[in-house]
C-alpha cells in the first residue's frame, strides 16, 4: 500500500512539473501581447477577448483592460461544443443508370480500376450531431428534408470498381452547404438549439430542434415547426431567446426574426439588402455583425434594428468580427500574426498585432471569442 501511495505522489509531482514546464515554454517562447501599430491602445479597455492557441499545450490567453493572463487548457474542463454535419442518404432501390466516366482527374493505383456515375433525383438530408470532446457518442438526426435535382441542379452518385469490387460509393451535390459544419447554439447548460439548412433546392418541413446532453448521451427533440416561407441562414441565442437570419423565398428579402418563449415569430426586421451574410461573427452584448459585399452592419437584437455600418473593414483573411461600445472589431489572420483592427465612424482608429510561435493558419490558432462586457 505504501509503495502505491509513493508512486501516486511521484506521478502527481511529475505531472505538475510538466504543466509548469509547458507554461514556462509559453512564457519564454511566445509573445501573446497586443503590439500597437497605430492608434490609441486605450480603445481596447472596452473589450474582453479570449484567444486559444495551440502551443505545445493549448493555452487560453485572456485580454482584459490591456492585461494579459495565461491558462493551460484542460479540455475535460472546457464547455462542450456541439456540431452538426450533413449526411445525405440515397434510398437505393435499384442499381441501374450507371455509366462509366472518363475523367482525366481520376487517379487509381490499380490496373483494373473504373469510375462510374449516375444521376439521382433526390437524397434525404440527415445530420450527424457530435460533441467537441469524447464524452458523447454522435447520433444521426433524421430531418425529413430532401435535396432535389431540378432547375439545372443535379445530384449524382459515384462509385469506383476495382477488380470487379465496388468501393468509394459517394453522393455528390453542388449544394454550397453540403460540407459546412454547423455549431449548435447554447440555450443554457446542457441544452442547445439546432435549425437544419433549407436553402436552394431543399424541400420539406423545417423544425427547430432542442439537443440535450443527458446521462452521457445526446438527445434531440422537435420544438416547433418553422414557417416554410423562409430559408433559414443562421441563428443566435441571447438570454435563451432565439434570433434567426432568414431569407424570404418569394421576394429574397432578408429578415432578422425574433422568437418568443413558445418558439413563434414575435417580431421581424427587414435588412438593408438581399445579399446579407453572417460569417465569422458572434452575438456580443446583444449585437450581431452582418455584411453584404460592400458593407458591415451592426444589428441590435434588443432594438431589432441596424444601428451602425462600416464600409472600410479589410476582408482579406478576416476570421472574426464583433461590435461593442459603438465600434466594429475585426481580426485578420496571417501565418504568425493576428491583426486586430478597430473601426469607428467608418474609419480605422486602431491597429494592433498579436504574434505567436506556431503557424496559426495551420492549427496554431484554436479559437477567438469576444466576451460580453
> Per residue in 35-53, pLDDT tens?
999 999 999 998 999 988 7
Please give the residue that has the higher pLDDT: either 295 or 22.
295
- Range with the lowest mean pLDDT among 170-174, 232-236, 241-245? 170-174
Mean pLDDT score across all residues of the chain:
85
Distance CA 133, CA 124 (A): 28
Q: Is the pLDDT assigned to residue 201 strictly greater than 50?
A: yes
Cα R_g (the chain), whole angstroms: 24
Distance CA 298, CA 288 (A): 6
Q: Which residues contact 6 (CB under 8 A, 6 or more apart)?
A: none
183 CB-side CA count, 13 A: 12
Please give the residue that has the higher pLDDT: either 321 or 103.
321
> Per residue in 203-227, pLDDT tens?
999 999 999 988 878 999 999 999 9
- All structural domains of the chain with their residue ranges: 33-77+271-373
Query: What pLDDT sits at residue 332?
Result: 92
Query: What pLDDT sits at residue 292?
Result: 94
pLDDT band per the 50, 70, 90 thresholds, residue 358? low
Q: Is the pLDDT assigned to residue 19 strictly greater than 50?
A: no
Query: What pLDDT sits at residue 177?
Result: 62
> Is residue 95 classed as helix, strand or coil in its secondary structure?
coil
The pTM of the full predicted model, rounded to 2 decimals, is 0.84
| Mean pLDDT computed over 115-127 | 93
Q: Is the pLDDT assigned to residue 326 strictly greater than 50?
A: yes
CA angle 209, 212, 213 (to 5 degrees): 155
Distance CA 366, CA 360 (A): 8
> Per residue in 262-298, pLDDT tens?
999 999 999 999 999 887 788 999 999 999 999 999 9
Query: What pLDDT sits at residue 7?
Result: 45
| Mean pLDDT computed over 116-127 | 93
Other Cβ atoms less than 10 A from the Cβ of 106: the count is: 12
Query: What pLDDT sits at residue 31?
Result: 65
Contact 256, 245 (CB under 8 A): yes
Amino acid at each position: 500500500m505504501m509503495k502505491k501511495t509513493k508512486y501516486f505522489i511521484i506521478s502527481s509531482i511529475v505531472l505538475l512539473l510538466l504543466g509548469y514546464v509547458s507554461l514556462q515554454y509559453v512564457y519564454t517562447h511566445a509573445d501573446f501581447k497586443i503590439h500597437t501599430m497605430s492608434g490609441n491602445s486605450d480603445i481596447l479597455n472596452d473589450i474582453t477577448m479570449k484567444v486559444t492557441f495551440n502551443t505545445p499545450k493549448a493555452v487560453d490567453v485572456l485580454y482584459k483592460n490591456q492585461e494579459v493572463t495565461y491558462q493551460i487548457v484542460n479540455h475535460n474542463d472546457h464547455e462542450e461544443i456541439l456540431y452538426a454535419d450533413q449526411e445525405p442518404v440515397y434510398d437505393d432501390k435499384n442499381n441501374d443508370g450507371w455509366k462509366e466516366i472518363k475523367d482525366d482527374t481520376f487517379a487509381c493505383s490499380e490496373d483494373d480500376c473504373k469510375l462510374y456515375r449516375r444521376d439521382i433525383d433526390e437524397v434525404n438530408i440527415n445530420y450527424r450531431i457530435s460533441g467537441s470532446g469524447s464524452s458523447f457518442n454522435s447520433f444521426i438526426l433524421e430531418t425529413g428534408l430532401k435535396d432535389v435535382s431540378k432547375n439545372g441542379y443535379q445530384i449524382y452518385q459515384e462509385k469506383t470498381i476495382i477488380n470487379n469490387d465496388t468501393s468509394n460509393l459517394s453522393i455528390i451535390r453542388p449544394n454550397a452547404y453540403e460540407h459546412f459544419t454547423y455549431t449548435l447554439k447554447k440555450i443554457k447548460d446542457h441544452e442547445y438549439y439546432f435549425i437544419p439548412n433549407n436553402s436552394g433546392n431543399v424541400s420539406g418541413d423545417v423544425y427547430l430542434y432542442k439537443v440535450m446532453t443527458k446521462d452521457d448521451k445526446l438527445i434531440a427533440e422537435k420544438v416547433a415547426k418553422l414557417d416554410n416561407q423562409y430559408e433559414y441562414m443562421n441563428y443566435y441565442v441571447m438570454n435563451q431567446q432565439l434570433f434567426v437570419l432568414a431569407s424570404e423565398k418569394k421576394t429574397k428579402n432578408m429578415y432578422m426574426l425574433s422568437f418568443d418563449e413558445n418558439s413563434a415569430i414575435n417580431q421581424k426586421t427587414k435588412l438593408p439588402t438581399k445579399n446579407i451574410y453572417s460569417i465569422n461573427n458572434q452575438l456580443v452584448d446583444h449585437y450581431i455583425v452582418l455584411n453584404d459585399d460592400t458593407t458591415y452592419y451592426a444589428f441590435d437584437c434588443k432594438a431589432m434594428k441596424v444601428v451602425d455600418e462600416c464600409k472600410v473593414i479589410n476582408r482579406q483573411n478576416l476570421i472574426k468580427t464583433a461590435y461593442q461600445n459603438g465600434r466594429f472589431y475585426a481580426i485578420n489572420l496571417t501565418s504568425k500574426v493576428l491583426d486586430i483592427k478597430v473601426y469607428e465612424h467608418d474609419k480605422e482608429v486602431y491597429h494592433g498585432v498579436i504574434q505567436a510561435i506556431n503557424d496559426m493558419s495551420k492549427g496554431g490558432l484554436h479559437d477567438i471569442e469576444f466576451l460580453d462586457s
